[in-house]
Amino acid sequence: MHRAHLLEKLIPVFSSVRGLMQFNQYHKYTVDEHSLLAVAKAEELGQERGIFKEVYEEIRRKDLLHLAVLLHDLGKGREEDHSEVGKAIAEETAARLGFDEQETRTLVFLVHRHLLMAHTAFRRDPYDDKVLLPFARAVATPEVLRKLFVLTAADLAAVGPGVLTKWKESLLIELYLRTLPEVSGERDAGAVPERLRKLAEEVAGEADGLAKNKMDARWIESQLGQFPVRYVYGTPPARIAAHLVAIQQLHPNEVLVEDTFNEALGTCEYTVLTFDDLTPGIFSKIAGVMAAKGLQILDAQIITRGDGVVVDTFQVSDPDYAGPPPLERRASIGHTIAKVLQGQETVGHLMSRGSRLSTARRLPASRQSTEVQMDNETSDRSTIIDVFADDRQGLLYVITHAIFKLGLSVQAARISTRLDQVADVFYVTDLQGAKLQEHSGIETIRAAIKEEIDRFLGEKGEEVGELEGLSSYSSS
């Protein structure tokens, strides 16, 4: 239909995106190619195993889903926001096809808000009710949630090979599963204590083979109360048990680093356990070690319990290995993290002698300007910092080091890279654990972080040295 120009008889605006290039390195296809491929990807998701297949099969009006996928990017090529233009296109298309009010409302929402789920899953914490509940209210029904879930995955898969990674899939699935009870009316606040009790029993069972002494379920339940909700309900019981066993054995000034390889995601998980008074800037220093070792951080969960125990977990990819990195490689990374946190090594020294850092690297020719945004509304507990910048080895360390120097503590992070661009999100508090107040110089903080990033990347995007860019951090 597209080749014969018949599609444009049904959707006239399709003619405006025929052969329309997308001028960024992220999209591989023209807008019309991407739109058609996204429909095919939606159907492919329905034939895979697992939750995508289950959700796709449960969708009652697949024709509405496919039409929304086809229309979602047709607003591109205009000066206005393409989602806003797409909303008008969806309304016009629904009227042309004789849709009723509910069909029109669903189609318009899916096209207009087609980026909502990706932005929420990749940049915000779905275990924060101030994030989850507005998202649930926006999608409103299980049927719309299912459609948006598949549309989001299909959109990413149609951008180019390798864009819809297993890690991104897991974040979308996490948000979907967190939202489904909200929109289906199955949430029961009274069930939370019972759920926690059952989880404690599961953890106790998992700990039987790990701990020297049997863990009491009541003690475990009290320990779970010191963790944030995201950790409690987002961590498998076996991993919680391993962490609690390690916490039982943790001594002052000690650093324990555990690693596991996730076959399904193709990533390594490093968990660092220590006490928060061991050294300032723990998250920044760990990020620096991983940069020096050539690892790409995909996600980070930063936890400091009320008793001062730090449980920081990093999901990383190791580009040198297609499968599990050798045990000696993982052990070396853990050993280096411990040495840096204990003051026996510095990140700057690792950077200066790290073979993984080239002496010069040209930033992308189509360099994007650095953007730092401060969000003090979304979360009750933290101030959110969004960073959009050109990617470069060591950038995450530079950002977190800047945050640390400003007297802020990172409570959670979402790390996302699109080819040469990063979209990193940090939930921060002051050193007393409180979100920032407007009078505390939020604009000054934003400007200071941006200045550090721009200084590291170079003002004009010219060829710059990695080591030169990190020279000011050599004492860290």
CATH number assigned to the domain comprising residue 48: 1.10.3210
The whole-number average pLDDT for the span 218-223 is: 89
The whole-model pTM stands at: 0.77
> What pLDDT shows up at residue 285?
95
**Between 214 and 222, whose confidence is greater?**
222
> What pLDDT shows up at residue 465?
45
Residue 18 lies in a domain: yes
Evaluate if residue 389 carries a pLDDT over 70: yes
Band the pLDDT of 211: cuts 50, 70, 90.
low
> What pLDDT shows up at residue 431?
86
Q: Of 184, 206, 222, which closes a domain?
A: 184
Q: Of 167, 184, 201, which closes a domain?
A: 184
* 276: exposed, middle or buried (Cβ count in 10 Å: 0-12, 13-18, 19+): middle
Percent of the chain's residues with pLDDT above 90: 47
The reply to whether 288 and 427 lie within a common domain is yes
Q: What are phi and psi of 297, to 5 degrees?
A: -80, 120
Percent of the chain's residues with pLDDT above 70: 84
> What pLDDT shows up at residue 77?
72
**Between 292 and 234, whose confidence is greater?**
292
Evaluate if residue 357 carries a pLDDT over 80: no
**Between 330 and 394, whose confidence is greater?**
330
The reply to whether 40 and 152 lie within a common domain is yes
Evaluate if residue 6 carries a pLDDT over 50: yes
Q: How many CA atoms lie within 13 A of 419 on its CB side?
A: 13
Residue 410 lies in a domain: yes
Residue 207 lies in a domain: yes
The pair of structure tokens assigned to 197 is: 């009790």
* 328: exposed, middle or buried (Cβ count in 10 Å: 0-12, 13-18, 19+): exposed
Residue 1 lies in a domain: no
The whole-number average pLDDT for the span 236-244 is: 89
Evaluate if residue 346 carries a pLDDT over 60: yes
The number of distinct structural domains making up the chain is: 3
Residue 41's CB is within 10 A of a number of other CB atoms, namely 22
The reply to whether 284 and 144 lie within a common domain is no
The reply to whether 453 and 314 lie within a common domain is yes
Residue 2 lies in a domain: no
Band the pLDDT of 348: cuts 50, 70, 90.
confident
The reply to whether 344 and 232 lie within a common domain is no
The reply to whether 66 and 179 lie within a common domain is yes
Residue 239 lies in a domain: yes
The reply to whether 206 and 69 lie within a common domain is no
> Which residue type occupies 110?
L
| Structural domain containing residue 306 | 252-476
Evaluate if residue 463 carries a pLDDT over 50: no
**342 touches 278 (CB < 8 A):** yes
The reply to whether 76 and 30 lie within a common domain is yes
> What pLDDT shows up at residue 68?
96
Q: Of 184, 204, 227, which closes a domain?
A: 184
Among 54, 122, 63, CA closest to 94: 63
The reply to whether 371 and 416 lie within a common domain is yes
Q: Which of 40-54, 193-207, 438-452 has the lowest mean pLDDT?
A: 193-207
Evaluate if residue 272 carries a pLDDT over 90: yes
The whole-number average pLDDT for the span 276-300 is: 90
Evaluate if residue 2 carries a pLDDT over 50: no
Residue 128 lies in a domain: yes
Evaluate if residue 361 carries a pLDDT over 50: no
> What pLDDT shows up at residue 366?
56
Residue 120 lies in a domain: yes
> What pLDDT shows up at residue 143?
97
> What pLDDT shows up at residue 358?
44
Evaluate if residue 439 carries a pLDDT over 90: no
The pair of structure tokens assigned to 98 is: 């004789």
> What pLDDT shows up at residue 466?
46
The reply to whether 307 and 416 lie within a common domain is yes
Helix (H) or strand (E) holding 310, with range, is strand 309-317
The reply to whether 142 and 164 lie within a common domain is yes
- Residues in CB range of 170: below 8 A, 6 or more apart: 265
Band the pLDDT of 90: cuts 50, 70, 90.
very high
The reply to whether 195 and 270 lie within a common domain is no
User: How confident is the model over 410-433, as pLDDT tens digits?
Assistant: 888 888 776 567 889 999 999 888
Distance CA 139, CA 147 (A): 10
* 90: exposed, middle or buried (Cβ count in 10 Å: 0-12, 13-18, 19+): buried
Band the pLDDT of 369: cuts 50, 70, 90.
confident
**403 touches 393 (CB < 8 A):** no
